[in-house]
Structure 1
């Protein structure tokens, strides 16, 4: 994969970042989910490492972790290829996520959340919106993942959180670039702050309805332009 290849994703440099391997795994996972790394294209660890500004070793280790997660597959003597999901796969993932996340958010609102905890989530909500405004799709997906998993973590159920993490990781939302191009990504991103307002107010019906609407965006955008145009 050459640097001039149109399929080459724009990746950040992590030369000065802590927890390098985890940062790389998080970014590569987000690149897969957002479609910046596309199925059918073979990506080599050295070429990705060059974009990160690091050695090949942590990138190769990160990609092997994603192999174990089922997000990519190793291509012998060449690199790694993103696994492709069918429309049915993506529908099933979205359906399962909705079954778990929507009622869980309602229960969190019912149980009540310490305002101090809500305030700790607000920077993540702001970060999602900021990434949307900058059209940084990889950062948008990564922060969005952190926000929702942190919110679900308020249940104290680590199995639930890990299940949703796996489902979200397997998702594909290729339409993000289309939404960004049509200035539709920011309004969707603003729903995170609105959700926190509803939870803090104890508005269970409002929180459930917003989460249902928020989840409804997923099925509309994963497929790309045709889905994005519906929202």
Structure 2
């Protein structure tokens, strides 16, 4: 991914962000509660629309939240909001208020940034500015900055004052440490589940294992990462411990971030080998082969094939 020059977007002092490019993901802004209360909808005109536009104009305290080029998206139609043909035409159907918070935009941006991070579009060691990334996604810098702050809390990026966010450069040692922690958490759980969960439950997870194989065959690291974590979440969820699943998923996500060493094997063949472990693990769990479950889990988590 190419990076911008020393001058950030919108005159920002943040630098190093990639210029916007055709086909980039665009996340449209959301309606606010005030817009819905005034009865405003996309394409509306007249006093209600003008009142809404005036009321939603950015103030000094809200500058940078949205850009003039952003367009609102229609609210989802609920069963209550669809026309009821059994009622007289002159009686408008009841409408359920549906408010889409701005946090949903931040969530979409966070997902997009995580995908770019795993896929290598956000390169380790590079600095990216929120305004320029906002241009790429078609939103203001604010939700991008908030999403980047979340990634900073997760350890994926670090704040560079007056410039933006630098993608953390990780080495093999950190990856090994994450693998050790994952093994300490997941292995005892899988050994317990292997002795208690009936074969039928493991068979039900077969489609998820097959999904990881299909994703691996595409060679797309970001696509495979999502299916990989989905499979592991489903396996661990059989333990009935929500906190365990969330903790293990966070560690797994961090283990998927690219290393600074470009020699790391991220080829299609490597993804296919990793995906094959899922099917083998299910076979061992169905057979209640505890020793094989132990060796497969340890090798899979540490990346030893």
TM-score normalised according to structure 2 size: 0.57
Deviation at 1:115, TM superposition (A): 2.3
CA contact (8 A) 1:113 1:199 kept: no
Q: Deviations over 1:134-181 (max 9, x none)?
A: 111111112212221231122122232233233223324547973415
Q: 1:165 aligns with which of 239, 243, 249?
A: 249
- Aligned partner of 2:238 in structure 1 is 154
Secondary structure of 1:60's aligned partner: helix
**How far apart are the structure 1 equivalents of 2:233 and 2:263?**
20
Q: Sort the Cα spacing of 1:122 and 1:37 in 2 relative to 1 into closer, same or farther, 3 A.
A: farther
| Residues 1:93 and 2:105 are matched in the alignment | no
Q: Sort the Cα spacing of 1:115 and 1:61 in 2 relative to 1 into closer, same or farther, 3 A.
A: farther
Q: 1:32 aligns with which of 117, 133, 139?
A: 117
| Residues 1:132 and 2:216 are matched in the alignment | yes
Structure of larger gyration radius: 2
- Aligned partner of 2:270 in structure 1 is 184
Q: Sort the Cα spacing of 1:49 and 1:159 in 2 relative to 1 into closer, same or farther, 3 A.
A: same
- Aligned partner of 1:198 in structure 2 is 284
**How far apart are the structure 2 equivalents of 1:124 and 1:148?**
9
Q: Any residues of structure 2 matched to 1:1-231 within 5 Å, and which?
A: 2=2, 13=25, 21-33=106-118, 35-49=120-134, 52=137, 56-113=141-198, 115-116=200-201, 118-119=203-204, 121-171=205-255, 172-174=257-259, 178-180=265-267, 183-217=269-303
Q: Deviations over 1:108-129 (max 9, x none)?
A: 111114625642x333322222
**How far apart are the structure 2 equivalents of 1:184 and 1:116?**
28
Q: Where do 5+ consecutive residues of structure 1 fail to align?
A: 221-230
CA contact (8 A) 2:124 2:258 kept: no
TM-score normalised according to structure 1 size: 0.73
**How far apart are the structure 1 equivalents of 2:285 and 2:24?**
34
Question: Which structure is higher in helix share?
Answer: 1
The worse-fitting range, judged by mean Cα deviation, of 184-193 and 164-173 is 164-173
Deviation at 1:191, TM superposition (A): 1.5
Deviation at 1:201, TM superposition (A): 3.2
**How far apart are the structure 1 equivalents of 2:280 and 2:108?**
28
**How far apart are the structure 1 equivalents of 2:164 and 2:188?**
40
Q: Where do 5+ consecutive residues of structure 2 fail to align?
A: 6-16, 29-75, 77-103
Secondary structure of 1:67's aligned partner: helix
